Amino acid sequence: MNTWTHAFTIGQFILDFAVVSGLLVLGTICRRYVGWFQRFLIPNNLIAGFLGLMLGPELLGVAVFSPERMGVYVYHLLALTFIGVGLQSGGGKHSRGAINLGFIQIMSMLLQAMIGLGVVMVMVYFVNPDLVPAVGVLLPLGFGMGPGIAYSIGQSWQAYGFAEGASIGLTIAAIGFLVAYGSGILIVNRGIRRGHAELVDRTDSLSREVRTGLVSAERAEARPVAARMTFTAGAIEPLTFHVAMVATIYLVTYGVTLALAEGLVLIGLEREVPTLWSFQFILANLIALVTGRLMHRGRIAHVLDDGFLHRLTGLMADYLIAASIMAISLTVAWDYIVPIALMCVVAAFATYASIKWVSQRVFEDYPFERFSGIYGEMTGTISSGLALVRIVDPEYKTPVAQDLVLSSGLALGFGFPLLLAINMPFTVFDGAMEGYWVLLGIVLGYLLLILLAWTRFGLQRKKRMVF
């Protein structure tokens, strides 16, 4: 719970906010004028984060901020982002394509968990017996789930003596972003040249707007509408109300989590309290979903606008990703550079090969587009997956982007047992090696169960489509 009790002044908070904001502006300028960033479609928030890491206290010392405080912001922004997602109305029923993508996501997470555990356990037995095997557990969190979850769960392990977990998780997530945009852009461009993208001609190039990330002034009147007013002038600013709703739900989440923590202490399970606080973002999402459902039943959901919620979620995600890179401890990353590098290299190739193999055999429509999106998401986040889809489907004419978003909700549900299991080596086995062997067996068993369920409910057997 140290992220709630970490003390700093309001002045430090304002200064941190200003520093991250300035870096986001600088990142936007870099994306607008630097061709390399345009070529690989590096998002502004990621540019800002790496600029902060370079200018921060551990390297050049130009930007004044605390990596530890950045980690605290990541923790809270993760829950706030999940509240914004939970309040949105959603996209209706899941298509078969979304279901298949959801199964592929959890399959990839479980595969990454096995790779991480396998690589680190081999190193423990044959190279460095002092290495904490939990390093391997962070691989699916950073690669498959993103920096917020990697930090939230990694920092909870401080209570069990593994103080470096949060920074290692963020480091793996940062490498995952580089894999997603670096190799992802190369893979997509190669597929386009070979004619695998159905909606893009081999000679087509991305529009200037997509490359620079800036909607041109020439078509200002055709700019997309960001949000719609849900209150009349003079009552309350609609943006204020949406921010207040998100904050109120976060307050409720804090109260519920605190009550559950007190309950665990009363029944003698105080060791589980750090794990509970690391899952606060899931409680936040569930409470937001229930709130949205109750508002629909009460016929008052019209006071919320998905446009405002999308914008709020995007805002918090931008700051979350930038802060997550800035929160990396380069000293810790260097100390664990060998296992981190080995895990990430093996995971990158395995994720690519497994998703490609499955996509060629499962999807009846747009297999290359779906492969591109899910590969980007399972090495980065949903934003990197959508960025790759944008290259092969510039106008989002296919259902791939929507299916990718819908599948993320399914994957979160499928992945919840994995999130519970990864804490077992600490909570049940006190960090003993036997706990990691048990976890490896659970992951393997769950993977087989997922594949069985997928074959029964989602998988479509078809002739292989090569790309």
pLDDT tens per residue, range 346-401 = 999 999 999 999 988 888 888 898 999 999 989 988 888 888 888 887 767 788 87
Contact between 319 and 76 under an 8 Å Cβ cutoff? The reply is: no
127 contacts: CB under 8 Å, gap ≥ 6? none
Residue whose C-alpha is closest to residue 374's, from 99, 95, 119:
99
Please state, in angstroms and rounded to a whole number, the distance separating the CA atoms of residues 326 and 77.
14
Closest CA to 177 of 29, 406, 315, 382: 382
Q: How many CB atoms lie within 10 A of CB 288?
A: 26
State the residue for tokens 């490359």: 211
The total number of residues shown for the chain amounts to 467
- Smallest CA-to-CA distance from 194 within 423, 433, 466 is with 466
Give the whole-number percent of the chain exceeding pLDDT 70. 93
Question: Would you say 377 and 404 are in contact if contact means Cβ atoms under 8 Å apart?
Answer: yes
Mind listing the pLDDT tens digit of every residue in the chain (467 residues)? 578 888 889 999 999 999 999 999 999 999 999 999 888 888 899 999 999 999 999 889 998 899 999 999 999 998 999 898 889 876 445 567 788 888 899 999 999 999 999 999 999 999 999 999 999 999 999 998 888 889 989 888 888 888 899 999 999 999 999 999 989 989 988 888 888 877 766 555 667 777 787 877 766 666 778 888 999 878 999 999 999 999 999 999 999 999 999 998 888 878 778 878 888 888 898 899 899 999 999 999 999 999 999 899 889 989 999 999 999 999 999 999 999 999 999 999 999 999 999 988 888 888 898 999 999 989 988 888 888 888 887 767 788 877 887 787 778 778 888 888 888 999 888 889 999 999 999 999 999 999 888 887 656 555 566 66
Rg (CA), the chain: 22
Contact 117, 339 (CB under 8 A): no
Rama region for 234: left / alpha / beta (φ>0; ψ in -120 to 50; rest):
left
CB atoms within 10 A of CB 294: 11
Q: For 194-260, what is the HEC assignment?
A: CCCCCCCCCCCCCCHHHHHCCCCHHHHHHCCCCCCCCCCCCCCCHHHHHHHHHHHHHHHHHHHHHHH
> pTM for the whole thing?
0.86
Query: CB burial class (10 A; 0-12, 13-18, 19+) of residue 129?
Result: exposed
Cα(368)–Cα(179) distance, rounded to whole angstroms?
Answer: 18
| Cβ–Cβ < 8 Å for 348, 279 | no
Element (H, E) at 112: helix 96-126
Q: What is the rounded end-to-end Cα distance, in angstroms, of the chain?
A: 48
| 86 closest CA partner among 418, 373, 412 | 412
